[in-house]
Amino acid sequence: MSDNLIDGKQVAARLRAAVGLAVSQLLITPTLAVVLVGDDPASHVYVRNKIKFTKEAGMRSLEHRLPADVSEAEVVATVRALNVDPDVDGILVQLPLPAHINSDRVIAEINPDKDVDGLTETSAGRLLLGQPGLRPCTPTGCVILAKETLGDLSGKHCVVIGRSILVGKPAALLFLEQNCTVTLAHSRTENLSAVCRGADILVPAVGRPNMVKADWIKAGACVIDVGINRIDDASRKSGTRLVGDVDFADAVPVAGAITPVPGGVGPMTIACLLRNTVLAACARRGLDMPDNLAL
């Protein structure tokens, strides 16, 4: 593997260890409640890992499994019950939800102070206004990886490709909080490849396999690939493999540092979820944020 690889698994392990240390020094046991609806295999894997790492960090995990045919009203009622439960610090509704349930309505029901995924309108507003609050996990993970690689990000030009509310927009705001100069690019951006070549930090988050080629990347740039795309691969037993939005093999010789897919941004998402749960638990009780969890 290339010497310029950013090992997301290693960075995530250090963050989980920092969360565990913070929990051990608190006089409380933060509690994360997960709502899982239906039988989506990928969702079950994600939730199982979240529960595993929550417990490993010394926190309490609650799981609410609901059948695929549950009504929207019942899911909303579950969230509302968790909102008023004094023992619950964080609420995570695992997405995607079944098609007959309005995900936006369910997410809107989450108490923003327990919104460890950072997806409610209030959480988004707090981020935009620079107010304290819980930030989305994947974009936070991107910032942490960039800081692990480059140190102080002040003055760096960050180009985020993709304007989704889940990653692109919050990532742009989070890098702005780090005093980066930020360009939010997208499918309608003119001369997109040229815009990307101006980036010190390039964050593709569009869901197009191998879209970003070597000639899109400035020599020595830090590339944080958020894309997770499954493509056909007859050489694999499964017949498929995962790739990012960056053509990894093409980009490695040019980038100063680059995340692989898988093993880059993905592991950071759960680690940041655990961090958010601790931050939520402290904020709800008027406690200061643990110093070792500050960005």
228 is in an annotated binding site: yes
163 is in an annotated binding site: yes
Residues whose CB falls within 8 Å of the CB of residue 125, separated by 6 or more in sequence, listed in order: 131
198 is in an annotated binding site: no
Active site residue 94: yes
Are β-strands 257-258 and 222-223 bridged in parallel, bridged antiparallel, or unpaired?
parallel
The neighbouring-strand residues paired with 222 are 201, 257
Could you say which of 94, 156, 178, 225 is catalytic? 94
Question: Could you give the CA distance from residue 109 to residue 131 in angstroms, rounded to a whole number?
Answer: 21
Active site residue 117: yes
Active site residue 50: yes
Residues whose CB falls within 8 Å of the CB of residue 191, separated by 6 or more in sequence, listed in order: none
Could you say which of 89, 113, 115, 117 is catalytic? 117
CA 189, 256, 264, 120 torsion-angle sign: negative
Instruction: Extract the annotated binding site for NADP(+).
Output: 162-164, 228
Q: Which residues are annotated as a binding site?
A: 162-164, 228
Where in the sequence numbering do the catalytic residues fall? 50, 94, 117
